[in-house]
Amino acid sequence: MNLLIDLVPISVDIEGEKYEINSDFRTSILFELLMQDSEVSEEDKIIHALDLYYSTLPNDLNEAVEKLLWFYRCGKNEVEGKGYGKGKSEQIYSYDYDDDYIYSAFLDQYGVDLQDIEYLHWWKFKAMFKALKEDNEIVKIMGYRAMDLSKIKDKEEKSYYKKMKELYKIPSNISKDEKEKLNQIEGILLNGGDVSKVL
């Protein structure tokens, strides 16, 4: 698929039949957030993903999943700009945590209010997101997060980027049980208790 010469798809072909796919950018953002949710089982993720993208479920669910992944990847073989630095597992953006920065960048650069716009195709949204200019705050933040500190020799520069990485670090996605345990540990520590019972 080539965004310059091919029309963006609003349906996918499964077993020789066309199935409409929910192509609005909000659907694929919800899909990405769903895939990152550690509290949802892998099986439930598949069920919810199929519900997100298809109003009518195809008979061949395996092919339906393959096609929705193809759609999510914007017709590419690999996920581009998934939010991770090249060759790294460090996430450099989060639709959940960076929503205000992304919203502001689209409004500033394109004049597109993501709240008011009724529909924007996912592939167009991704192209616009990838082309955000360096003066947008989200682009600066992604740069800090992607920065490889091991390649910086100057101590002051390294210290600065280390602070920026920490300042803009995406909070880890921990489960409710882990949150409760951390809160319990914090409560014990504040009251001078023994944390060994909880650990």
The per-residue pLDDT for range 15-56, each reduced to its tens digit, is 999 999 999 999 999 999 999 998 899 999 999 999 999 999
For the chain, strand residue ranges (E) read: 11-14, 17-20
Average pLDDT over residues 178-183: 61
Counting residues of the chain whose pLDDT is more than 90, the rounded percentage is 69
Backbone angles phi, psi at 54, to 5 degrees: -115, 135
State which amino acid sits at residue 164.
M
- Cβ-contact 98, 137 below 8 angstroms: no
Degrees to nearest 5, angle at CA 136 with 130 and 142: 60
Rounded Cα–Cα distance for residues 199 and 194 (Å): 10
What per-residue confidence (pLDDT) applies to 84? 46
What per-residue confidence (pLDDT) applies to 199? 58
* Average model confidence (pLDDT) across the chain: 87
Q: Would you state the structure tokens that stand for residue 65, as one six-digit string? A: 């999943």
